[in-house]
Amino acid sequence: VKTIGILTSGGDAPGMNAAVRAATRRAIGKGLQVKGILKGYEGLINDEVIDLDAKAVSDIIGLGGTILYSARCSEMRTLEGQKKAAETCRRHGIDGLVVVGGDGSFAGAQKLADLGINAIGIPGTIDLDIACTEYTIGFDTAVNTAMEAIDKVRDTSTSHERVSIVEVMGRNAGYIALWCGIAAGAEDVLLPEKYDYDEQQIINHIIETRKKGKSHHIIINAEGIGHSQAMAKRIEAATGIESRATILGHMQRGGSPTAMDRMYATIFGAKAVDLLLEGKTKRVVAVKDGEFVDYDINEALAMKKNLSEYEVELAKTLSYNYVLK
Ligand code: F6P
């Protein structure tokens, strides 16, 4: 391997820049050339390639977003798009590609590897929904952002003795909801993986909690369930308690990465380059039992992962009303 290309793909995540910096500097330190590809696979297909040197990645370790920009690229799902992307790699002499992103981005890396471009994936998404790994870049920062926002919502929720529904990101997964729900001490945490649409249970919970003297009721709703505004209206009608919904949205994707995100991103970034130098391709870097490992992309994409049942149980059983039963 002589020239490495790096791209960030899909939804951005805090810590992606730390991964770009680490991969770039690791590669330069090993005598390789480094190219940055702008706007993910879209930029690869459209030949938007820049040179990266050690200076180009200075002072980005603490920056949110991604200096390489990111995109969701439907063209990369077509053979034609994949061939164009491989052609851009060849034109620039890129014989090792590092892709930071989620499952969809790994699928693109897999196709490029099949077309003869060495490719390694790095898990980067706030959602934590990549089955092969215990950690994905951006999760910790996003959870902290959501937790701080919930703490603020609680202040006003208490003053007005309201029910507050706070909707958090995570696509179809409930990892962000579960973690920020536990970390912020929410009364209810609604998870797509566990949601049974029995709203009456939630309504009963609110009424009982209020009777036992709690002045607010925070419900964390995962975006995979959604409909928070309508839910607030129904809850207000059923309980007679003023209810409001707050959708946190894209603020959860921004901000300076936490130390944890910078650390994991740095190790993932360096490890991806190390794997390419070992002659490996079509692999994804991951964390298993606290160790940094790598998997074949096909194997990684076929894995399944579940929420921790213990954490799900705690989210429920530490709520005020449950304990006073
Ligand atoms: O995958 C990260 C994520 O922020 C999800 O939590 C969310 O469902 C999605 O991306 C939103 O995507 P977009 O920014 O393209 O609307």
Can you tell me the ipTM of this complex?
0.98
CB atoms within 10 A of CB 293: 14
Instruction: Please state whether the predicted TM-score (pTM) of the whole model is above 0.95.
Output: yes
Does the pLDDT at position 172 exceed 80? yes
- pLDDT tens, 33-55? 999 999 999 999 999 999 999 99
Return phi, psi of residue 49, to 5°. -125, 135
Helix (H, G, I), strand (E, B) or coil at 84: helix
Does the pLDDT at position 321 exceed 90? no
pLDDT class for 323, splitting at 50, 70, 90? Answer: confident
- Burial status of residue 51 (CB atoms within 10 A of its CB: 0-12, 13-18, 19 or more): exposed
Encoded tokens for 9 = 């793909």
Write out the H or E segment, with its range, that includes residue 267. Answer: helix 259-277
Encoded tokens for 73 = 């690229």
pLDDT for residue 169: 98
- The span from the CA of 6 to the CA of 164, in Å, is 42
Protein residue closest via CA to atom 8 of ligand 1: 171
Catalytic-residue membership of 196? no
- The span from the CA of 221 to the CA of 154, in Å, is 15
Q: Which of 33, 26, 21, 10 is nearest to 89 (CA)?
A: 33
Does the pLDDT at position 320 exceed 90? no
Encoded tokens for 153 = 């919502």
- Distance from the CA of 11 to the center of ligand 1, in angstroms? 6
- pLDDT tens, 262-315? 999 999 999 999 999 999 999 999 999 999 999 999 999 999 999 999 999 999
The alpha carbon of residue 171 and the mean position of all alpha carbons in its chain are separated, in whole angstroms, by 9
pLDDT for residue 325: 67
- The span from the CA of 209 to the CA of 213, in Å, is 7
Protein residue closest via CA to atom 13 of ligand 1: 11
Q: Which atom of ligand 1 is nearest to the CA of 102?
A: 1
- pLDDT tens, 88-104? 999 999 999 999 999 99
- pLDDT tens, 114-171? 999 999 999 999 999 999 999 999 999 999 999 999 999 999 999 999 999 999 999 9
Q: Which atom of ligand 1 is nearest to the CA of 170?
A: 6
Encoded tokens for 182 = 């536990």
**Please, which residues bridge with residue 137 across strands?**
124
pLDDT class for 185, splitting at 50, 70, 90? Answer: very high
Candidate list 53, 59, 114, 127, residue with the active-site label? 127
CB proximity list for 116: less than 8 A, separation 6 or greater: 86
- The span from the CA of 49 to the CA of 35, in Å, is 6
Cβ pair 142, 258 in contact under 8 A: no
Provide residues with CB under 6 Å of ligand 1: 11, 72, 125-127, 169-171, 223, 253
- Distance from the CA of 237 to the center of ligand 1, in angstroms? 31
Cβ pair 231, 220 in contact under 8 A: no
pLDDT for residue 322: 83
Protein residue closest via CA to atom 7 of ligand 1: 171
Could you tell me the sign of the dihedral formed by the alpha carbons of 12, 14, 19, 20, in that order? positive
Amino acid 29 reads G
Residue with tokens 């009364």: 187
Q: Which atom of ligand 1 is nearest to the CA of 253?
A: 4
Long-range contacts of 243-246 (CB under 8 A, 24+ apart): 243/162, 243/163, 243/164, 243/165, 244/157, 244/162, 244/163, 244/164, 244/165, 245/164, 245/165, 245/166, 245/167, 245/221, 246/149, 246/153, 246/164, 246/165, 246/166, 246/167
Return phi, psi of residue 324, to 5°. -80, 0
pLDDT for residue 319: 87
- pLDDT tens, 219-269? 999 999 999 999 999 999 999 999 999 999 999 999 999 999 999 999 999
